[in-house]
Chains A and B, each alone.
Chain A
């Protein structure tokens, strides 16, 4: 059986030799991310059935868990790592032709590393290791946001860097406090002993950790960096940032809150924040004229929905949240990738410049529409299934608090519907601007059409048969909620 640790070690090795390949052959580096992610996809999907039976605990350096770092490839970890590898593979294929200018070799190196970071975050079972991979994820995204090098993207990168670095220091302080209190870094070890420490000390470290990871997760008061960063990055990177990076942040928050602390009492607060995040994200998106900023704000809104699901702390709620993670990753990656070439062709990020694209770039527009409808939550697509599950979960809790919040969240969805339908209406029913360039009639190259098409197909397929992922979702939710068996699996008995 292959070891899940290869999911991290192999892409890392490939990333290290990519600069060398770039020196040897100019065109070689652009294929490396695709190779690495294909490997990851195959390995994670092949490990998933095993992990559904029992989480695979991988030790490093040959020592049993508390004494060295270990990975816990449970259903949740492998589900997310498969998602990361899938999106990563499609974005890597897209990036082959899309990235032509600038330091292309370094772009490809960083685009592998950002995915390695995310994979490490979801697989690790050690708090400090979580921080290390989180840094890998964050630092490579700072650099990639500034990739185009114009003043807007450098400014966005610097903003992201500063806020992210403060967040990371908070995480480090939180981990330091945890280590001081428990003398251990293994999540399972800490989780097993958590009630032996006074709740005030726990609360301080928890607050630091949540705030720190919350920056990357873009939860409401901490998300000022996101619209700039996601809109200034190259579209392929925006797809990774929106589809994967913020999910890794939310995963870290969830892991800390559920597994390490078992802190159910802060969840109502988190639920309030999530609904605030959702409303603010959607309202800001509604008033945007810049297509990429609009998509970025809409990501904030969807993050609110995910956190809302997680905050319910019921099996249905958490699996609904994970379902939204999947549906949002697919749809938002699709939207960013599709809009990438539209922006490239029209040369403008104005929403109005997309008018009439439905006849000029029919395939891209069709896929864009699929993604937009899925995000809004229209029936045949995966967005509907996931949002419906959130609704069901909130009603199942039979808690007035959650039902009221759900009602507010649904208002957010209505706003979301309004602005996405406006864009789609522009795509098909408005004439193209007079001075539209001739090259806007050209479809993007195959390397972009295939990923976009695959994403659209997946959105429809999973939307029609939610059973494809439902079993894994249930197991993953259980992985997150059931602390006792998590501890048992890691520490053994």
Chain B
């Protein structure tokens, strides 16, 4: 029976593919337009590279692509991460019956002190990455991930400290809100979401790039707190 079904499936697919190729031509109606449009097709990379700095004032063109030209995608991606964190919390919070097999063995003094010493430095590195995202490689996602790895270290080394999930929730909500509100201000000021409405500043200095660094900081905080809350949830210390 199973073999019969899979055989017939294969037959259907083969039939489909042959059908497709028998009359394989696409976009018949578009053909007349194509000739006209094909000439003025633009190379996006070149266009962004040559005009990105003047249009957005961010030295790192990738940052202006991520936050400005394709900023709407970034908003969506931040949301995807948010959903992952929330969804994980949903699934884990309903399965409380089996407590995580965590043996609360305190870390040795060396590890404990080392973690406490490294944690602020990691946070500093992470914030550096997302604050300078418009100047150097890196940005909100990368910086946020580094920040979250700091929280991971706290969990691994200083288990007694515990990770407060309320703090994550507040940071996550506020930075997400900041992103949306900044985007909406662009809509209100210039009629288009995510418009870079602030003065661009002089290129390659910290205060340049209009809203890009501000949004990057919001993304960094949001990603950091989302990944942090995922770690807190998985480590079983969240309420």
Contacts and interface: CB of A to CB of B under 8 A. Distances in A.
A and B touch in the complex (CB under 8 A): yes
A113 B29 CA distance: 37
B1 interface: no
A149 B212 CA distance: 41
B145 interface: no
Contact-size category for A: 35 or more
Interface in A380-397: none
A60 B196 CA distance: 10
Given A23-B169, A60-B192, A192-B37, A143 B90 contact: yes
Given A20-B173, A136-B76, A203-B20, A61 B34 contact: no
Given A20-B170, A183-B43, A221-B9, A194 B86 contact: no
A184 interface: yes
Contacts of A199: 24-26
Contact of A17 (B12, B69, B73, B173): B173
A19 interface: yes
Which one of B55, B79, B184 has the greatest number of beta carbons of chain A within 10 Å?
B79
B177 interface: yes
B91 A154 contact: yes
Interface stretch (A76-84, A258-266, A353-361, A366-374): A258-266
Which secondary structure characterizes the binding site on chain A?
helix
A60 B194 contact: yes
A13 B34 contact: no
A195 B91 contact: no
B181 A262 contact: no
A273 B19 CA distance: 13
B15 interface: yes
A428 interface: no
A31 interface: no
Given A23-B170, A139-B80, A196 B34 contact: yes
Given A17-B173, A262-B26, A262-B27, A5 B43 contact: no
B195 A62 contact: yes
B74 to A, nearest CB: 9
A289 interface: no
A60 B71 contact: yes
A142 B87 contact: yes
Interface string B80-95: 1011101111110111
B69 to A, nearest CB: 5
Contacts of B75: 12
Which one of B83, B91, B95 has the greatest number of beta carbons of chain A within 10 Å?
B83
Given A19-B169, A68-B69, A265-B20, A195 B95 contact: no
B30 A191 contact: yes
A133 B82 CA distance: 13
A276 interface: yes
B83 A139 contact: yes
Contacts of A336: none
13 contacts: A67-B42, A67-B44, A129-B73, A133-B76, A154-B91, A195-B26, A221-B9, A221-B12, A261-B27, A262-B27, A265-B22, A266-B19, A487-B30
